[in-house]
Structure 1
Amino acid sequence: MSEIPEITALDHLVLTVASLERTMAFYRDVLGMEVEEFQPADGSRRFALKFGVQKINLHLAGQEFRPHAKRPGPGTADLCFLSVTDLKAWQDHLDAQSITIEEGPLRRTGASRPLMSIYIRDPDGNLIEISNQI
């Protein structure tokens, strides 16, 4: 039997959204991500949300770029973002932005360490977990 090839990291993921403008404003103004416009080889106009060394590519519902998920749709994601900013500061920031914290702070299990997390929703209803490693 041959050895299984190794996956080393997640480069990007795709969110299918109902409104590019609303989504970009939320992730920029609430979560501090950078909005990037780019043009792939086919010449189309695309958008991504950048943070750290990762990015989230955005697809507008009904106009998804190919290939895409079998059933793409707004509000189908559950994402966890790590932050070095204390959750109390996040709670104050979210309150100032009129963003409801659905749950938390709660202790959770992360990929490499335990987490303390709060949960919010983006404009499409995707579940967003903001976490501190503990």
Structure 2
Amino acid sequence: MSLTLTLAVADLDRTEFFYRDILGLQLETFEPAPEFPRVLLLLCGDTAILFRRQQALEASHPALFEHLDRHPKGVGMTLELELPDLEAARRAIDRQQLHLLYELDDDEFKRREIWLHDPDGYLLILT
């Protein structure tokens, strides 16, 4: 089974900078078809995360996405991402002066976690 998540974002360039340059993740950029706007793709094993402009989603599916900005994005959802270099991401987060919710050492699972929100408010746990 595979899973694809579509996340609405306000600014694809800002999202790309955050996930690629701060977190160090590999993103692909593509246009699904000539008449469709650019999409960012983050592959995580059998899971794909698509980042699409909120305006494009609202235009394509007005009944489903109307007034998407009335509520915080990702309410009740947490994205847990295993980074290739957590320390490098932590230094980049500090350089950008991003707000961390907290850091913790999870002794039970023997890993370190960094909790923060991405530029659109999605809650991330970085390991």
TM value normalised by structure 2 = 0.68
State the percentage of identical aligned residues.
29
Preserved CA contact (<8 Å) 1:108 1:117? no
- The CA deviation at 1:126 is 1.1
* Structure with the largest fraction of helix: 2
Find the aligned partners of 1:28 and 1:21 in 2 and give their Cα distance.
10
Q: Which runs of 5+ in 1 are unaligned?
A: 1-7
Q: 1:45 to 1:108 in 2, by over 3 A?
A: farther
What does 1:29-108 correspond to in 2, within 5 Å? 29-41=21-33, 43-51=35-43, 53=45, 54-64=47-57, 70-71=64-65, 75-76=73-74, 77-85=77-85, 87-107=86-106
Preserved CA contact (<8 Å) 2:39 2:50? yes
Question: What secondary structure is seen at the aligned counterpart in 2 of 1:64?
Answer: helix
Preserved CA contact (<8 Å) 2:41 2:50? yes
- The CA deviation at 1:67 is 6.4
TM value normalised by structure 1 = 0.65
Question: What secondary structure is seen at the aligned counterpart in 2 of 1:29?
Answer: helix
Preserved CA contact (<8 Å) 1:15 1:58? yes
Count of matched residue positions in the alignment of Structure 1 and Structure 2: 119
